[in-house]
Chain A
Amino acid sequence: MEDLSIKKPVITIRNLYKRFGDNAVLNGFDMDLFEGENLVIMGKSGSGKSVMIKCLIGLEEHDSGTINVMGKDIDDLEAEELDELRTEIGFLFQGSALYDSMSVRENLEFPLRRHTKKFGVIKDAEPLVMEALESVGLAKAIDLMPDELSGGMKRRIALARTLILKPSIILYDEPTTGLDPITSKEIVQLMQKVQQQYKTSSIIITHDVDCARAIANRMILLIDGKNYAEGSFDTLRKNHDPKIQAFFK
Protein backbone atom coordinates (compact mmCIF):
# COMPACT_ATOMS: atom_id res chain seq x y z
CA MET A 1 0.00 0.00 0.00
CA GLU A 2 1.15 3.56 -0.75
CA ASP A 3 2.33 5.90 2.01
CA LEU A 4 -0.81 7.98 2.39
CA SER A 5 0.67 10.33 5.02
CA ILE A 6 2.32 12.35 2.22
CA LYS A 7 -0.89 12.65 0.23
CA LYS A 8 -3.51 15.33 0.68
CA PRO A 9 -7.02 14.21 1.72
CA VAL A 10 -9.71 15.53 -0.61
CA ILE A 11 -12.56 14.22 1.52
CA THR A 12 -12.54 13.80 5.29
CA ILE A 13 -15.47 12.36 7.21
CA ARG A 14 -15.45 12.20 10.99
CA ASN A 15 -17.90 10.62 13.38
CA LEU A 16 -20.81 10.53 10.93
CA TYR A 17 -24.20 9.56 12.34
CA LYS A 18 -27.46 9.10 10.46
CA ARG A 19 -30.67 7.37 11.49
CA PHE A 20 -34.06 6.89 9.84
CA GLY A 21 -36.58 6.66 12.67
CA ASP A 22 -35.40 3.84 14.95
CA ASN A 23 -32.97 2.51 12.37
CA ALA A 24 -29.43 3.79 12.99
CA VAL A 25 -27.76 3.55 9.58
CA LEU A 26 -24.44 5.27 10.27
CA ASN A 27 -22.89 4.98 13.71
CA GLY A 28 -19.77 7.13 13.84
CA PHE A 29 -18.32 6.47 10.40
CA ASP A 30 -14.83 7.88 9.66
CA MET A 31 -13.12 8.13 6.30
CA ASP A 32 -10.37 9.91 4.38
CA LEU A 33 -10.13 9.93 0.61
CA PHE A 34 -6.69 10.94 -0.66
CA GLU A 35 -5.84 12.64 -3.93
CA GLY A 36 -5.70 10.25 -6.89
CA GLU A 37 -6.86 7.31 -4.78
CA ASN A 38 -9.49 4.65 -5.51
CA LEU A 39 -11.17 3.86 -2.21
CA VAL A 40 -13.53 0.90 -2.19
CA ILE A 41 -16.19 0.68 0.50
CA MET A 42 -17.81 -2.70 1.01
CA GLY A 43 -20.64 -3.61 3.31
CA LYS A 44 -23.79 -5.68 3.47
CA SER A 45 -27.03 -4.32 2.00
CA GLY A 46 -28.46 -1.79 4.42
CA SER A 47 -25.09 -1.18 6.09
CA GLY A 48 -25.23 2.53 5.18
CA LYS A 49 -22.87 2.73 2.20
CA SER A 50 -25.22 4.49 -0.19
CA VAL A 51 -26.56 6.73 2.58
CA MET A 52 -22.99 7.73 3.39
CA ILE A 53 -22.21 8.92 -0.15
CA LYS A 54 -25.57 10.67 -0.36
CA CYS A 55 -24.70 12.53 2.87
CA LEU A 56 -21.32 13.33 1.33
CA ILE A 57 -22.90 15.15 -1.60
CA GLY A 58 -25.73 16.72 0.38
CA LEU A 59 -28.57 14.56 -0.96
CA GLU A 60 -29.24 13.32 2.59
CA GLU A 61 -28.76 15.38 5.72
CA HIS A 62 -26.60 13.71 8.35
CA ASP A 63 -27.58 13.86 12.02
CA SER A 64 -24.12 14.66 13.36
CA GLY A 65 -20.45 14.52 12.46
CA THR A 66 -18.40 16.49 9.94
CA ILE A 67 -17.92 16.12 6.21
CA ASN A 68 -15.12 18.11 4.66
CA VAL A 69 -14.80 18.10 0.86
CA MET A 70 -11.80 19.81 -0.74
CA GLY A 71 -11.27 21.94 2.36
CA LYS A 72 -14.92 22.95 2.71
CA ASP A 73 -17.21 21.79 5.49
CA ILE A 74 -20.46 21.00 3.65
CA ASP A 75 -22.58 22.05 6.65
CA ASP A 76 -21.24 25.60 6.31
CA LEU A 77 -22.10 25.94 2.62
CA GLU A 78 -25.01 27.92 1.19
CA ALA A 79 -27.09 26.17 -1.50
CA GLU A 80 -25.24 28.01 -4.27
CA GLU A 81 -21.82 27.13 -2.84
CA LEU A 82 -22.89 23.50 -2.51
CA ASP A 83 -23.97 23.47 -6.17
CA GLU A 84 -20.57 24.87 -7.13
CA LEU A 85 -18.79 22.22 -5.08
CA ARG A 86 -20.92 19.55 -6.74
CA THR A 87 -19.34 20.39 -10.09
CA GLU A 88 -16.13 18.97 -8.62
CA ILE A 89 -17.86 15.75 -7.57
CA GLY A 90 -19.26 13.33 -10.11
CA PHE A 91 -21.86 10.80 -8.97
CA LEU A 92 -22.55 7.60 -10.86
CA PHE A 93 -25.91 6.30 -9.67
CA GLN A 94 -26.62 2.61 -9.23
CA GLY A 95 -29.44 2.67 -11.82
CA SER A 96 -27.59 5.17 -14.06
CA ALA A 97 -30.38 7.78 -13.49
CA LEU A 98 -30.37 9.02 -17.09
CA TYR A 99 -33.18 11.50 -17.78
CA ASP A 100 -35.50 9.31 -19.79
CA SER A 101 -37.31 12.17 -21.53
CA MET A 102 -34.02 13.41 -23.01
CA SER A 103 -31.72 11.97 -25.66
CA VAL A 104 -28.13 11.02 -24.82
CA ARG A 105 -26.97 14.37 -26.23
CA GLU A 106 -29.46 16.30 -24.06
CA ASN A 107 -28.52 14.24 -21.01
CA LEU A 108 -24.90 15.30 -21.43
CA GLU A 109 -25.67 18.91 -22.27
CA PHE A 110 -27.98 19.32 -19.28
CA PRO A 111 -25.31 19.72 -16.55
CA LEU A 112 -23.01 21.58 -18.92
CA ARG A 113 -25.47 24.37 -19.65
CA ARG A 114 -26.20 24.86 -15.98
CA HIS A 115 -22.66 25.47 -14.82
CA THR A 116 -21.89 28.68 -16.60
CA LYS A 117 -19.62 29.72 -13.70
CA LYS A 118 -17.24 26.87 -14.35
CA PHE A 119 -17.44 26.73 -18.14
CA GLY A 120 -18.85 30.11 -19.20
CA VAL A 121 -21.85 30.27 -21.55
CA ILE A 122 -21.42 27.39 -23.99
CA LYS A 123 -22.75 28.11 -27.47
CA ASP A 124 -21.68 24.84 -29.03
CA ALA A 125 -21.66 21.95 -26.58
CA GLU A 126 -21.10 19.33 -29.29
CA PRO A 127 -17.28 19.05 -28.95
CA LEU A 128 -17.50 18.59 -25.17
CA VAL A 129 -20.33 16.07 -25.52
CA MET A 130 -18.39 14.13 -28.14
CA GLU A 131 -15.23 14.16 -26.03
CA ALA A 132 -17.10 12.70 -23.05
CA LEU A 133 -18.84 10.10 -25.22
CA GLU A 134 -15.59 9.11 -26.92
CA SER A 135 -13.94 8.61 -23.55
CA VAL A 136 -16.56 5.94 -22.77
CA GLY A 137 -16.50 4.55 -26.32
CA LEU A 138 -20.10 5.43 -27.19
CA ALA A 139 -19.90 8.36 -29.60
CA LYS A 140 -22.37 6.61 -31.91
CA ALA A 141 -25.10 6.65 -29.25
CA ILE A 142 -25.35 10.44 -29.21
CA ASP A 143 -28.87 10.64 -30.65
CA LEU A 144 -30.35 7.58 -28.95
CA MET A 145 -32.91 7.73 -26.16
CA PRO A 146 -32.14 6.02 -22.82
CA ASP A 147 -34.73 3.28 -23.43
CA GLU A 148 -32.79 2.25 -26.55
CA LEU A 149 -29.64 1.54 -24.52
CA SER A 150 -28.57 -1.68 -22.80
CA GLY A 151 -27.72 -1.73 -19.07
CA GLY A 152 -23.98 -1.48 -19.75
CA MET A 153 -24.45 1.34 -22.26
CA LYS A 154 -26.59 3.26 -19.78
CA ARG A 155 -23.85 2.95 -17.16
CA ARG A 156 -21.27 4.24 -19.69
CA ILE A 157 -23.45 7.17 -20.74
CA ALA A 158 -24.05 8.01 -17.08
CA LEU A 159 -20.28 8.01 -16.59
CA ALA A 160 -19.88 10.27 -19.62
CA ARG A 161 -22.46 12.65 -18.12
CA THR A 162 -20.45 12.64 -14.91
CA LEU A 163 -17.17 13.26 -16.76
CA ILE A 164 -18.48 16.17 -18.80
CA LEU A 165 -18.18 18.49 -15.80
CA LYS A 166 -14.55 17.37 -15.41
CA PRO A 167 -14.88 16.50 -11.72
CA SER A 168 -11.86 15.84 -9.52
CA ILE A 169 -13.76 13.30 -7.39
CA ILE A 170 -16.10 10.56 -8.64
CA LEU A 171 -18.48 8.63 -6.41
CA TYR A 172 -19.57 5.28 -7.83
CA ASP A 173 -22.66 3.70 -6.25
CA GLU A 174 -22.47 -0.01 -7.07
CA PRO A 175 -21.23 0.52 -10.63
CA THR A 176 -21.37 -3.15 -11.67
CA THR A 177 -24.58 -4.24 -9.95
CA GLY A 178 -27.08 -5.83 -12.33
CA LEU A 179 -24.56 -6.25 -15.15
CA ASP A 180 -23.28 -9.50 -16.63
CA PRO A 181 -19.66 -10.47 -15.78
CA ILE A 182 -18.25 -9.35 -19.16
CA THR A 183 -19.96 -5.94 -19.06
CA SER A 184 -18.93 -5.57 -15.40
CA LYS A 185 -15.32 -6.14 -16.39
CA GLU A 186 -15.63 -3.55 -19.17
CA ILE A 187 -17.07 -1.01 -16.73
CA VAL A 188 -14.22 -1.63 -14.26
CA GLN A 189 -11.66 -1.18 -17.06
CA LEU A 190 -13.42 2.02 -18.05
CA MET A 191 -13.25 3.28 -14.45
CA GLN A 192 -9.51 2.58 -14.40
CA LYS A 193 -9.08 4.39 -17.72
CA VAL A 194 -11.05 7.39 -16.45
CA GLN A 195 -8.95 7.54 -13.31
CA GLN A 196 -5.74 7.60 -15.33
CA GLN A 197 -7.02 10.01 -17.95
CA TYR A 198 -8.73 12.52 -15.67
CA LYS A 199 -6.58 11.98 -12.53
CA THR A 200 -9.68 11.66 -10.38
CA SER A 201 -10.02 10.45 -6.80
CA SER A 202 -12.82 7.90 -6.43
CA ILE A 203 -15.02 6.28 -3.84
CA ILE A 204 -16.48 3.03 -5.10
CA ILE A 205 -19.36 1.44 -3.22
CA THR A 206 -19.61 -2.18 -4.27
CA HIS A 207 -20.41 -5.78 -3.37
CA ASP A 208 -18.41 -7.04 -6.30
CA VAL A 209 -15.15 -8.64 -5.12
CA ASP A 210 -13.71 -8.77 -8.64
CA CYS A 211 -14.38 -5.06 -9.07
CA ALA A 212 -12.75 -4.32 -5.69
CA ARG A 213 -9.71 -6.45 -6.52
CA ALA A 214 -9.20 -4.69 -9.86
CA ILE A 215 -9.65 -1.13 -8.75
CA ALA A 216 -9.04 -0.66 -5.00
CA ASN A 217 -5.97 1.17 -3.74
CA ARG A 218 -7.51 0.88 -0.29
CA MET A 219 -10.68 -0.61 1.16
CA ILE A 220 -12.98 0.09 4.09
CA LEU A 221 -15.32 -2.61 5.32
CA LEU A 222 -18.49 -1.20 6.81
CA ILE A 223 -20.40 -3.17 9.44
CA ASP A 224 -23.34 -1.76 11.43
CA GLY A 225 -22.72 1.74 10.13
CA LYS A 226 -19.09 2.07 11.18
CA ASN A 227 -15.63 1.14 9.95
CA TYR A 228 -14.87 -2.45 10.82
CA ALA A 229 -11.62 -2.90 8.94
CA GLU A 230 -9.42 -0.93 6.58
CA GLY A 231 -6.48 -1.80 4.34
CA SER A 232 -5.47 -2.99 0.90
CA PHE A 233 -7.45 -5.72 -0.87
CA ASP A 234 -4.72 -8.32 -0.24
CA THR A 235 -4.29 -7.41 3.43
CA LEU A 236 -8.00 -7.72 4.12
CA ARG A 237 -8.40 -10.89 2.10
CA LYS A 238 -5.65 -12.59 4.12
CA ASN A 239 -7.20 -11.53 7.41
CA HIS A 240 -8.64 -14.49 9.36
CA ASP A 241 -11.47 -12.61 11.04
CA PRO A 242 -14.64 -14.48 9.93
CA LYS A 243 -16.56 -11.21 9.56
CA ILE A 244 -13.92 -9.94 7.13
CA GLN A 245 -13.66 -13.26 5.34
CA ALA A 246 -17.42 -13.21 4.73
CA PHE A 247 -16.92 -10.29 2.33
CA PHE A 248 -14.55 -12.27 0.12
CA LYS A 249 -16.51 -15.50 -0.19
Chain B
Amino acid sequence: MKSILIEIGELSYFAGRFFREVGKRPFEYKEFLRQCYNMGNRSLLLVGITGFIIGLVFTLQSRPTLQEFGAVSWMPSMVGISIIREIGPIITALICAGRIGSGIGAELGSMRVTEQIDAMEVSGTNPFKYLVVTRILATTLMLPILVVLSDAIALYGSYLVENLKGDVSFQLYFNEVFGSLEFGDIIPSTVKSFFFGFAIGVVGCFKGYTCGKGTEGVGRAANAAVVYTSMVLFILDFLAVLVSDIFYDL
Protein backbone atom coordinates (compact mmCIF):
# COMPACT_ATOMS: atom_id res chain seq x y z
CA MET B 1 0.00 0.00 0.00
CA LYS B 2 2.83 2.36 0.97
CA SER B 3 4.62 1.76 -2.32
CA ILE B 4 1.41 2.43 -4.29
CA LEU B 5 0.97 5.75 -2.48
CA ILE B 6 4.62 6.65 -3.13
CA GLU B 7 4.16 5.78 -6.83
CA ILE B 8 1.01 7.93 -7.04
CA GLY B 9 2.87 10.79 -5.33
CA GLU B 10 5.81 10.52 -7.72
CA LEU B 11 3.50 10.34 -10.74
CA SER B 12 1.65 13.46 -9.54
CA TYR B 13 4.94 15.29 -9.03
CA PHE B 14 6.01 14.24 -12.53
CA ALA B 15 2.73 15.53 -14.01
CA GLY B 16 3.17 18.75 -12.01
CA ARG B 17 6.65 19.18 -13.46
CA PHE B 18 5.12 18.90 -16.95
CA PHE B 19 2.86 21.89 -16.19
CA ARG B 20 5.81 23.87 -14.82
CA GLU B 21 7.99 23.15 -17.86
CA VAL B 22 5.43 23.35 -20.66
CA GLY B 23 5.33 27.15 -20.79
CA LYS B 24 9.09 27.68 -20.52
CA ARG B 25 11.28 28.50 -23.49
CA PRO B 26 12.71 27.12 -25.71
CA PHE B 27 9.71 25.40 -27.32
CA GLU B 28 10.76 22.19 -29.01
CA TYR B 29 8.47 22.57 -32.05
CA LYS B 30 10.37 20.19 -34.32
CA GLU B 31 10.45 17.36 -31.81
CA PHE B 32 6.78 17.94 -30.94
CA LEU B 33 5.75 17.73 -34.62
CA ARG B 34 7.95 14.67 -35.12
CA GLN B 35 6.26 12.95 -32.17
CA CYS B 36 2.78 13.92 -33.45
CA TYR B 37 3.59 12.47 -36.85
CA ASN B 38 5.10 9.29 -35.39
CA MET B 39 2.26 8.65 -32.96
CA GLY B 40 -0.53 9.47 -35.40
CA ASN B 41 0.99 7.75 -38.38
CA ARG B 42 2.03 4.59 -36.58
CA SER B 43 -1.33 4.11 -34.84
CA LEU B 44 -3.53 5.01 -37.80
CA LEU B 45 -3.83 1.56 -39.36
CA LEU B 46 -4.34 -0.29 -36.08
CA VAL B 47 -6.93 2.19 -34.82
CA GLY B 48 -8.70 2.16 -38.21
CA ILE B 49 -8.90 -1.64 -38.46
CA THR B 50 -10.04 -1.99 -34.84
CA GLY B 51 -12.70 0.70 -35.29
CA PHE B 52 -14.00 -0.94 -38.47
CA ILE B 53 -14.25 -4.37 -36.82
CA ILE B 54 -15.98 -2.94 -33.75
CA GLY B 55 -18.56 -1.25 -35.96
CA LEU B 56 -19.19 -4.51 -37.86
CA VAL B 57 -19.34 -6.77 -34.82
CA PHE B 58 -21.41 -4.40 -32.71
CA THR B 59 -24.05 -4.08 -35.43
CA LEU B 60 -24.07 -7.78 -36.32
CA GLN B 61 -24.54 -8.79 -32.69
CA SER B 62 -27.17 -6.17 -31.85
CA ARG B 63 -29.27 -6.75 -34.96
CA PRO B 64 -31.06 -10.03 -33.96
CA THR B 65 -32.15 -8.61 -30.59
CA LEU B 66 -33.41 -5.36 -32.12
CA GLN B 67 -35.18 -7.37 -34.82
CA GLU B 68 -36.95 -9.43 -32.16
CA PHE B 69 -38.42 -6.24 -30.71
CA GLY B 70 -39.09 -4.71 -34.14
CA ALA B 71 -36.64 -1.90 -33.35
CA VAL B 72 -34.08 -2.27 -36.15
CA SER B 73 -34.72 1.32 -37.17
CA TRP B 74 -33.09 2.33 -33.87
CA MET B 75 -29.85 0.71 -34.91
CA PRO B 76 -28.07 3.86 -36.27
CA SER B 77 -28.99 5.89 -33.17
CA MET B 78 -27.94 3.15 -30.78
CA VAL B 79 -24.64 2.43 -32.54
CA GLY B 80 -23.88 6.15 -33.01
CA ILE B 81 -24.44 7.07 -29.37
CA SER B 82 -22.61 4.01 -28.02
CA ILE B 83 -19.60 4.45 -30.26
CA ILE B 84 -19.24 8.20 -29.91
CA ARG B 85 -19.92 8.41 -26.18
CA GLU B 86 -18.05 5.38 -24.92
CA ILE B 87 -16.73 2.62 -27.15
CA GLY B 88 -14.74 4.80 -29.58
CA PRO B 89 -12.78 6.81 -26.98
CA ILE B 90 -12.04 3.97 -24.55
CA ILE B 91 -11.09 1.34 -27.17
CA THR B 92 -8.90 3.80 -29.08
CA ALA B 93 -7.26 4.91 -25.83
CA LEU B 94 -6.58 1.31 -24.79
CA ILE B 95 -5.06 0.51 -28.19
CA CYS B 96 -2.89 3.63 -27.96
CA ALA B 97 -1.89 2.74 -24.39
CA GLY B 98 -0.58 -0.56 -25.77
CA ARG B 99 1.04 0.89 -28.83
CA ILE B 100 2.13 4.42 -27.91
CA GLY B 101 2.39 4.14 -24.09
CA SER B 102 4.57 1.03 -24.15
CA GLY B 103 6.65 2.54 -26.97
CA ILE B 104 7.32 5.68 -24.95
CA GLY B 105 8.12 3.62 -21.82
CA ALA B 106 10.57 1.41 -23.71
CA GLU B 107 12.19 4.26 -25.67
CA LEU B 108 12.76 6.55 -22.69
CA GLY B 109 13.73 3.60 -20.49
CA SER B 110 16.35 2.51 -22.97
CA MET B 111 17.61 6.11 -23.26
CA ARG B 112 17.87 6.24 -19.46
CA VAL B 113 19.87 3.01 -19.07
CA THR B 114 22.22 3.83 -21.96
CA GLU B 115 22.88 7.28 -20.43
CA GLN B 116 21.46 9.11 -23.47
CA ILE B 117 19.30 11.24 -21.17
CA ASP B 118 22.39 12.15 -19.11
CA ALA B 119 24.26 12.96 -22.34
CA MET B 120 21.44 15.27 -23.37
CA GLU B 121 21.58 17.05 -20.02
CA VAL B 122 25.35 17.40 -20.22
CA SER B 123 25.03 18.92 -23.68
CA GLY B 124 22.93 21.70 -22.18
CA THR B 125 19.48 20.45 -23.23
CA ASN B 126 16.70 20.04 -20.71
CA PRO B 127 15.80 16.37 -21.38
CA PHE B 128 12.48 16.71 -19.58
CA LYS B 129 11.39 19.44 -21.97
CA TYR B 130 12.82 17.78 -25.05
CA LEU B 131 11.67 14.22 -24.40
CA VAL B 132 8.79 14.34 -21.93
CA VAL B 133 6.92 17.60 -22.61
CA THR B 134 6.88 17.00 -26.38
CA ARG B 135 5.60 13.44 -26.01
CA ILE B 136 2.86 14.33 -23.52
CA LEU B 137 1.68 17.21 -25.72
CA ALA B 138 1.72 14.94 -28.77
CA THR B 139 -0.36 12.18 -27.15
CA THR B 140 -2.79 14.77 -25.73
CA LEU B 141 -3.32 16.28 -29.16
CA MET B 142 -3.23 13.12 -31.27
CA LEU B 143 -5.56 10.90 -29.25
CA PRO B 144 -8.74 12.97 -29.88
CA ILE B 145 -7.89 12.99 -33.59
CA LEU B 146 -7.47 9.22 -33.58
CA VAL B 147 -10.73 8.84 -31.63
CA VAL B 148 -12.67 10.90 -34.22
CA LEU B 149 -11.14 8.80 -36.98
CA SER B 150 -11.91 5.54 -35.20
CA ASP B 151 -15.51 6.66 -34.53
CA ALA B 152 -16.01 7.52 -38.19
CA ILE B 153 -14.62 4.19 -39.39
CA ALA B 154 -16.65 2.25 -36.81
CA LEU B 155 -19.85 3.99 -37.95
CA TYR B 156 -18.95 3.20 -41.56
CA GLY B 157 -18.48 -0.46 -40.61
CA SER B 158 -21.86 -0.45 -38.94
CA TYR B 159 -23.44 1.19 -42.01
CA LEU B 160 -22.00 -1.56 -44.26
CA VAL B 161 -23.77 -4.25 -42.20
CA GLU B 162 -27.01 -2.29 -42.21
CA ASN B 163 -26.70 -1.71 -45.94
CA LEU B 164 -26.12 -5.39 -46.65
CA LYS B 165 -28.73 -6.78 -44.25
CA GLY B 166 -31.33 -4.03 -44.22
CA ASP B 167 -30.78 -2.17 -47.47
CA VAL B 168 -30.30 1.15 -45.69
CA SER B 169 -28.78 3.98 -47.76
CA PHE B 170 -25.64 5.86 -46.68
CA GLN B 171 -27.55 9.14 -46.39
CA LEU B 172 -30.40 7.65 -44.35
CA TYR B 173 -28.05 5.83 -42.01
CA PHE B 174 -25.90 8.86 -41.24
CA ASN B 175 -28.94 11.19 -41.03
CA GLU B 176 -30.26 8.88 -38.32
CA VAL B 177 -26.89 8.79 -36.55
CA PHE B 178 -26.39 12.56 -36.49
CA GLY B 179 -30.08 13.20 -35.79
CA SER B 180 -29.81 11.25 -32.56
CA LEU B 181 -26.54 12.83 -31.42
CA GLU B 182 -26.43 15.96 -29.30
CA PHE B 183 -23.59 18.24 -28.26
CA GLY B 184 -23.95 16.60 -24.86
CA ASP B 185 -22.75 13.34 -26.46
CA ILE B 186 -19.92 14.74 -28.54
CA ILE B 187 -18.33 17.32 -26.22
CA PRO B 188 -17.78 15.10 -23.14
CA SER B 189 -16.33 12.32 -25.27
CA THR B 190 -13.96 14.74 -27.03
CA VAL B 191 -12.89 16.33 -23.74
CA LYS B 192 -12.24 12.97 -22.12
CA SER B 193 -10.16 11.93 -25.16
CA PHE B 194 -7.76 14.79 -24.35
CA PHE B 195 -7.48 13.49 -20.78
CA PHE B 196 -6.94 9.93 -22.05
CA GLY B 197 -4.15 11.18 -24.33
CA PHE B 198 -2.59 13.11 -21.46
CA ALA B 199 -2.73 10.02 -19.22
CA ILE B 200 -1.07 7.83 -21.89
CA GLY B 201 1.73 10.38 -22.30
CA VAL B 202 2.29 11.05 -18.60
CA VAL B 203 2.30 7.43 -17.47
CA GLY B 204 4.43 6.22 -20.41
CA CYS B 205 6.96 9.02 -19.92
CA PHE B 206 7.00 8.57 -16.13
CA LYS B 207 7.72 4.84 -16.31
CA GLY B 208 10.39 5.30 -18.98
CA TYR B 209 12.06 8.40 -17.55
CA THR B 210 12.34 6.91 -14.05
CA CYS B 211 13.25 3.44 -15.33
CA GLY B 212 15.43 1.15 -13.22
CA LYS B 213 18.83 -0.09 -14.27
CA GLY B 214 19.46 -2.66 -16.99
CA THR B 215 17.42 -4.29 -19.73
CA GLU B 216 15.07 -5.73 -17.11
CA GLY B 217 14.25 -2.17 -16.08
CA VAL B 218 13.38 -1.27 -19.67
CA GLY B 219 11.08 -4.29 -20.01
CA ARG B 220 9.39 -3.44 -16.74
CA ALA B 221 8.97 0.20 -17.77
CA ALA B 222 7.28 -0.78 -21.05
CA ASN B 223 5.04 -3.29 -19.34
CA ALA B 224 4.13 -1.02 -16.43
CA ALA B 225 3.36 1.81 -18.84
CA VAL B 226 0.60 -0.30 -20.45
CA VAL B 227 -0.79 -1.77 -17.22
CA TYR B 228 -0.83 1.52 -15.28
CA THR B 229 -2.19 3.51 -18.22
CA SER B 230 -5.04 1.05 -18.77
CA MET B 231 -5.97 1.32 -15.09
CA VAL B 232 -5.78 5.12 -15.16
CA LEU B 233 -7.92 5.18 -18.35
CA PHE B 234 -10.74 3.23 -16.70
CA ILE B 235 -10.62 5.46 -13.63
CA LEU B 236 -10.70 8.58 -15.83
CA ASP B 237 -13.54 7.12 -17.88
CA PHE B 238 -15.55 6.48 -14.74
CA LEU B 239 -14.94 10.04 -13.52
CA ALA B 240 -15.85 11.44 -16.96
CA VAL B 241 -19.17 9.58 -16.92
CA LEU B 242 -19.91 10.87 -13.41
CA VAL B 243 -19.13 14.45 -14.38
CA SER B 244 -21.05 14.34 -17.68
CA ASP B 245 -24.07 12.84 -15.87
CA ILE B 246 -24.06 15.84 -13.54
CA PHE B 247 -24.18 18.12 -16.61
CA TYR B 248 -27.02 16.06 -18.14
CA ASP B 249 -29.05 16.51 -14.97
CA LEU B 250 -28.62 20.29 -15.03
Contact = CB atoms under 8 A, between A and B. Distances in A.
A72 interface: no
Given A114-B123, A165-B123, 11 more contacts: A59-B121, A86-B124, A91-B119, A93-B115, A95-B114, A97-B114, A97-B115, A98-B119, A99-B120, A100-B116, A115-B124
B116 A97 contact: yes
Q: How large is the interface on A (under 10, 10 to 19, 20 to 34, 35 or more residues)?
A: 20 to 34
Interface string A74-107: 0000010001101101010111011111000000
B125 A110 contact: yes
Query: Main SS of chain B's interface residues?
Result: helix
B118 interface: yes
Contacts of B120: 99, 110
B124 A99 contact: no
A114 B118 contact: no
Given A93-B115, A97-B114, A99-B116, A114 B121 contact: no
Contact of B123 (A79, A84, A86, A100): A86
Contacts of B121: 59
B190 to A, nearest CB: 32
Contacts of B119: 91, 93, 97-99
18 contacts: A59-B118, A59-B121, A83-B124, A84-B124, A86-B124, A87-B124, A89-B122, A93-B119, A94-B115, A95-B114, A97-B115, A98-B116, A99-B111, A99-B120, A100-B114, A110-B120, A111-B125, A114-B125
A86 B118 CA distance: 12
A59 B123 contact: no
A93 B118 contact: yes
A84 B120 CA distance: 14
